[in-house]
Amino acid sequence: MDTFSQAATQGLWLILILSLLPLLASLIVGLVISLFQALTQIQEQTLTFVPKIIATILVIMVTFAGTLEYLVDFTKNIFELILKVPSLR
C-alpha cells in the first residue's frame, strides 16, 4: 500500500510542478497589465484576458518537450508498478 501512496504523491507533485510555469506566466502578465491599468486609469475589465491567454499558450509551447518527458517517465513508472501487482486469481 505504501507504494501506491508514493505513486499518488508523485502524481500530485508532477501536476503541481507542470502547472507552475503557465500559472506563473499568467500571474505575471496579469500583474503587469493591472499595474498598467492603475497607472493609466484604464478600467477595462476584459483587457487582461487576451495577453494572459497568449502568455500561457507560449509558455506551454516552449515547455512542451520537457513536460512530455516528465509525463512519459511518470507513465512508465506507473505501468511498471501495475505490472508488479500480483494477480487476483
Per-residue pLDDT of the chain (89 residues; tens, 9 = 90+): 577 888 899 999 999 999 999 999 999 999 999 999 889 888 887 888 999 999 999 999 999 999 999 999 999 999 988 888 776 55
SS3 78: helix
CB 56 within 8 A of CB 28: no
Which of 88, 77, 89, 87 lies closest to 3, judged by CA? 77
Record the pTM.
Answer: 0.77
> How far out from the chain centre does Cα 21 lie?
6
